[in-house]
Structure 1
Amino acid sequence: LQTSSPRSCIWFTWGAMSGASSHSLRYFYTAVSEPGQGLPQFIAVGYVDDQPITHYDSNTRKDLPRVPWMGKVDADDPQYWQWNTQAARNSEQVFRENLVIAQKYYNQSGGLHTLQLMYGCELRSDGSKGGYEQFGYDGWDYISFDKETRTWTAADATAQITKRKWEAEPAMAQRSKAYLEETCIEWLRRYLGYGKETLLSLMIIFHISLYHSCLCITQFCFQHLTITNLAAIIKLRISSYFISFISCFSNNSSNTTLGDISKSMSNISLILLNTIIHIFCILSQSHHICL
């Protein structure tokens, strides 16, 4: 899939940071066409300042807290977890259906495929606000939302199909803008109030590589990792990456350089390293070090 400008490949690594100048609320959804080995077909994880706070997957079918301070939500909203669970179940159904539709758009039948969404908002130190909504398919950018212009940007010709459908429903863009600028910010402030002590002590540093057109957001911390589903996790991580890797070079072979290949090898090493850290996560049973 080719575009006129490079897209970003996002990798998550852990680090310690204090005195953050901004705060964020982010959500990451992933649907997989071939889960197997205990790996969920759908996962939704919420983060405040990049610390996991909620987790839902198609195995448990429940939205659950990931940090103790999220228990404070019940005092203000007794229906919070019930409502969020139902919303996550609805999203799971939509993602299952959309994953099938995406495969049809790309004339694919069978095989491992992923549909991903990341969206969220940010409160910056200068008082300004930010927000984004971005979909990815098989590790590649698919379509993204610009809340300032209330427009959708398709990453390739196939994504134009979705762009035309969504542009035909202006209310969809209005809802997304309202959520990112109002609802999301409101919840971010509430979460910051609940967990301000903890959030000051732990953050994730994002390392962003702009080398090729792939969006890698499959690296979630599963709530109950076991040795039995390790093979499936490795398959999802590496297969998803290589789908993007092979497609990138097959579609840009005339522009491929030794530098591109070298950078690709570095990123392959990184994903293998992240998998090793996942193994450590399994053995230690500590979600605080998961990538």
Structure 2
Amino acid sequence: MTPTTTRTALIALGAVGAAGAAAAVWGTSVERFLFTVRTHTVAILPPGAPAIRVLHLSDLHMAPWQRAKQRWVAGLGDLRPDLIVNTGDNLGHPEGLDGVRAALSAFGGIPGVFVHGSNDVHAPAPRNPFRYFTGPSKRHVREERIDTDALDRFLRDDLGWRDLNNAASSIDVAGLRVDAFGVDDAHRHWDDLAALPPLREAQRTAGVADLTLGVTHAPYRRVLDVFDDLGADAIFAGHTHGGQVRIPFAKNALVANCDIPLDQARGLSAWTHHGRTVPLNVSAGLGQSIYAPVRFGCRPEASLLTLVPAPDSSQAAATG
């Protein structure tokens, strides 16, 4: 190798190293704090129904020191949502509940529904990030329990939200009857899909809903298929973090930590099963594990979906 070739190779290697270092600094020190609101309009309501605004929050992974995130989430009350859908992993630290209270207390009195992610039950633990490329993560043998009951009391009793962990409920939202059903974290196989059909039948006997929602933390195909079969007009999920580290402008996530297609690991898309298609919103979430504090090409987000009447009662349209 000539001196010129060696010098060129060293310059190229240095440039690659500098770019990698810059990306690491951006992902750990800048982008993970660039909270954003992703907006969509979804035409699924009955003709003549008033538009309703649904704020989808997911994966706060809250630690007590994350004051900027707490303030930003609390400020989302200015969006004046009619309904909150919370798809779990609110806690990211054994002492994260105070931060969750600071973030979510602004939504007290607004109708809401919630399900658990595994970090609402167990504290996070260090993981090898490269293992996500081999498939969904596995549980640790030893896991520290978090005070899930205290979290649920806050969400259910203080905020007035409905607990949809393997359950169903009906709520009034801006004068519309909304039926909602959900499951506990499918990533941990805590979902009990068999419990939902009887609950759905009980809801049907009380009258016809204007809107039916399916809510899950982890968007596994088995869950999405059953939700579609049970008549959900829209499905909400989180868990994927949108891939958390993405190639900028690429359509697909690199990983999803579940079996959802990688091009549906973030944002609004459509889920089809047995010939029936419904909108599916997968939130990239607002946080990440304290042991993997990075975002790249995937800003932390909340979603605001404005639901409006469908142009034709036989076919719902979704745009975003």
**Could you state the TM-score of these two structures normalised by the residue count of structure 2?**
0.26
Higher relative helix content? 1
